[in-house]
Amino acid sequence: MMKVKVFKIRIPEEFLYKDQKMLDDFLEGNEIIKVETAFVNDECYWSVILYFEEKKLKNTVKEPKTIKYSAESDTLNYDEEQILNALKLWRSEKAREQNLPTYFIASNQELVSVAKYKPAKKEELLEIKGFGKHKIENYGEEILEILENV
């Protein structure tokens, strides 16, 4: 059975991270069928409507989640800076194209992790925190292409 959940992603810095984290956690635990977003101008927030199905949890012991790669520091060398800039540019275009906020495509942290980890194939993208099947299906090819060409 399909369910619906609405998230409010507030733009001001002090809320953005927390709101985004709640959304990310939710996305991780559920099978998303459809997403609709709308920007509420007068209150300055994104309204995100998710149509989803809960992932079936088996009654077995949960396997420990593999630790995914996440860049520890934001200090990048010159090459990594170039990659990051290219990724951010791509993300802005993508967000404009799909009429989504940029963090829907990928967070800064995720892009920094990609720049440092430099995955060469889709399987390696899976090893980066924040990249699930869905994100890789949608953007994997393009991200790998950017890494190849920078």
Own/partner long-range contacts of 99-105 (Cβ < 8 Å, ≥24 apart): 99/37, 100/37, 101/9, 101/37, 101/46, 103/9, 103/16, 103/20, 104/37, 105/139
C-beta separation of 100 from 125 below 8 A: no
pLDDT, tens digit (0-9, with 9 covering 90-100), for 6-45: 999 888 878 888 898 888 888 888 888 888 888 988 888 9
pLDDT, tens digit (0-9, with 9 covering 90-100), for 56-95: 655 555 555 677 888 888 789 999 999 999 999 999 999 9
pTM: 0.59
The answer to whether domain 78-149 has CATH 1.10.150.80 is: yes
Order of strands, sheet of 3-10, starting from the edge strand that comes earlier in the sequence: 3-10, 45-54, 30-40
Q: Report domain extents, the chain.
A: 3-54, 78-149
* Cβ neighbours, 10 Å, residue 75: 10
Location of structure tokens 């995720």: 110
Q: Which of 62-71, 96-105, 115-124, 136-145 has the lowest mean pLDDT?
A: 62-71
Residues in the chain: 150
